[in-house]
Structure 1
């Protein structure tokens, strides 16, 4: 009888970035997963909300990419909603730390920490692997210039001692970063300190003859 090879865990990815200093401590790899069940008004990554689209990567492929990056402090999971792919995300962090136990892990979620703890074993498993969580939905009416988050209802929750000292640090925006991709396209990352940043930025680019791609692109 032929044995069936177990299916390798996968993540549906909207975008990834190999170096970012505005979405967590230090320089980090960032993965934006595809798909979110929430529809926060004013979401700056609306192209990541549909569960359709994105690129399917195995956990091994993503772990190899992350572990091969020099001088990164950790990985940040954003989206989309990482906890909608909690099993794959937890498996990814296990694969990364099997090779690079020094790397830290951070995630964003539109759900509150207390709800995630009650949300099933897969979500609790992902929580156990995180050093930091930014929780809560984005609320446009409460937009504020805060570190790594966009509205005053969102929290930075330290889940290990590694970044516990951040609770007493300055709580000001880390800003945004622009990146020129290998194909010549322009992208940005971060949490805008002012509401309406994306619309204004795209209008300024359009006025100068540039177009910022808003659809989650499939990567080769």
Structure 2
């Protein structure tokens, strides 16, 4: 029986979270809940309960086109059974590299990484800290670490162990079927707040994930 999975969203292509055209998978639910997180909408339990098998069936056409996979959230390691099953099934696509974002430290993840040995190519770990600078590519704060775990990971991600360059400051803009607009990538500090304020000044009604952080910190579902 396939493991249950609380899922936030899936999107292809994602170009701002690793090399190439990537399949992005966002887990729903996070026990870490870093202050200032731009993905506070993924903290709570959400409404998209599925299974790993259903996710893979849905994403199969994109897996044939993708150059890699980025898994984020939420916190992927808060759903270890689903994560391990997903990673194991993805080994059927050996040419796809897998990058995972986690708010846990690499030291905390040591037992989990033993269970996923060889299944994760690159890992960005440690909690987002809005008091720290943001000068490294693919990271929201400079305390976060990029760990290359396989030969494929070193081949494709070694070039990302460097300071941000102007060409790195890109975001993918997506539109869900329900009209929700969202972004994938690593925005600069307060980018989303400035965008919200600008659009509100022009008469638009909207909220960003930071607006719901107070509610999701108490476990309320997000909208």
Tell me: CA distance 1:178–1:110, structure 2 relative to 1, closer, same or farther (3 Å): same
Partner residue, 1:185: 180
Partner residue, 1:73: 67
Q: CA–CA distance in 2 between the matches of 1:145 and 1:212?
A: 27
Partner residue, 2:163: 171
| Match among 49, 60, 64 for residue 53 of structure 2 | 60
Scaled by the length of structure 1, the TM-score of the pair is 0.83
Give the 3-state SS of the residue equivalent to 2:108 in structure 1: helix
User: Unaligned regions of 5+ residues in structure 2, if any?
Assistant: 213-220
Superposition map of 1:1-220 within 5 A:
7-50=1-44, 52-69=45-62, 70-98=64-92, 100-118=93-111, 122=112, 124-126=114-116, 128-165=118-155, 166-168=157-159, 170-172=162-164, 173-192=168-187, 194-208=188-202, 209-212=204-207, 214=209
Tell me: CA distance 1:176–1:164, structure 2 relative to 1, closer, same or farther (3 Å): same
- C-alpha contact 2:41 2:222 (8 A) present in aligned 1: no
Q: CA–CA distance in 2 between the matches of 1:201 and 1:145?
A: 21
Q: CA–CA distance in 2 between the matches of 1:127 and 1:112?
A: 17
User: Unaligned regions of 5+ residues in structure 1, if any?
Assistant: 1-6
**Shift in Å, 1:10:** 1.9
Q: Give the RMSD, CA atoms, in angstroms.
A: 2.3
Moved more, 87-96 or 133-142: 87-96
- C-alpha contact 2:14 2:21 (8 A) present in aligned 1: yes
Give the 3-state SS of the residue equivalent to 2:33 in structure 1: coil
Q: CA–CA distance in 1 between the matches of 2:205 and 2:163?
A: 33
**Shift in Å, 1:93:** 1.9
Tell me: CA distance 1:153–1:171, structure 2 relative to 1, closer, same or farther (3 Å): same
